[in-house]
Amino acid sequence: MKRAAAITLTLAVAFFYLPIAVLSLFSFNRSALMTFPLDGFTLDWYRELSGNTAFLNGFVTSFLVSQPVGILSALIGLLAALALASPGLRGRSVFIALLVLPFLVPKTVLSIAQAMLLNWAGLGRGATALIAAQTLVAIPFTTTIIAAVLVRLDPRLEEAARDLGATPWQTFRRVTFPQIRGAVGAAYSIGVILSLADLTISMFLAGRTQPLSLIVASQFRRELKPDLNAMQVVVLFLTGLIVFIGEYFRRRRRVHAPAPRKETAHV
């Protein structure tokens, strides 16, 4: 049974990562034809990409859109997670159902509904509408990440802070938030990554705003060129860099966190 599970897991991982490995390999191939055997090693496609104005503009646009998406989704997810973890919350099951519902709705249906709603609200299409729509999609993910940490906290720490005269805001700032700071950072990273990877919502709401995902999809439909492979490798590298930086600071905070004091009993 364990052997069958290991084989299944290996095949699943290979099925997922093998196309990425092949794409990365062809981005260094000297030939413009993406066929084996390879013609030789070259960095020409990356040099050509560095002079691609459409790619640079798309990357800047995606970066500028992803930052408010990450911040807003982490902030709203934090507030939702605090409400979800509150012991006095009524209708918790309804709240959880509403939180899970966006996972079950097809992305195309959700995008069309968001486009209609945002157009009715007067936002139309563009960067503002795109930020609002992507934030709404990211909130369930960020809420789940932060809530998973909140439910594991010791409630006696907050009770002790309140008994010592701390206000609710002081209790959150000095007791609760330092314990969930890593989760909030992870939620921000997830919001940024979801924004960078989004294509469906961008197709309906980007308007004249051209994020990188739309540019890649447009070039892929017209012609499959090696510089497109290089573009995807750069995007994967930047996404991995965001995850690495977030994990680095999370581990660094854990290492430098002050150790709990040991009280000595006096007889």
The mean per-residue pLDDT over the stretch 163-176 comes to: 83
Question: In terms of pLDDT, which residue wins out, 74 or 217?
Answer: 74
- Residue 73 pLDDT grade (very low, low, confident, very high; cuts 50, 70, 90): very high
The mean per-residue pLDDT over the stretch 232-245 comes to: 76
Asked whether the predicted pLDDT for residue 223 surpasses 70, the reply is no
pLDDT at 252: 65
- Residue 261 pLDDT grade (very low, low, confident, very high; cuts 50, 70, 90): very low
pLDDT at 236: 79
- Residue 208 pLDDT grade (very low, low, confident, very high; cuts 50, 70, 90): confident
Which residue from 74, 114, 130, 22 is spatially nearest to 246, judged by alpha carbons? 74
Asked whether the predicted pLDDT for residue 75 surpasses 90, the reply is yes
Which residue from 124, 137, 119 is spatially nearest to 199, judged by alpha carbons? 137
- Residue 78 pLDDT grade (very low, low, confident, very high; cuts 50, 70, 90): very high
pLDDT at 263: 45
Distance CA(124)–CA(127), nearest Å, equals 10
Which residue from 105, 139, 111, 110 is spatially nearest to 125, judged by alpha carbons? 111
Helix (H) / strand (E) element for 115: namely helix 107-120
Asked whether the predicted pLDDT for residue 260 surpasses 60, the reply is no
The mean per-residue pLDDT over the stretch 135-142 comes to: 90
Distance CA(25)–CA(83), nearest Å, equals 47
pLDDT at 267: 38
Least reliable range by pLDDT among 13-17, 92-96, 183-187, 263-267: 263-267
Asked whether the predicted pLDDT for residue 266 surpasses 60, the reply is no
Say which CATH topology domain 54-255 has: MetI-like fold (1.10.3720)
Asked whether the predicted pLDDT for residue 116 surpasses 80, the reply is yes
The mean per-residue pLDDT over the stretch 220-233 comes to: 72
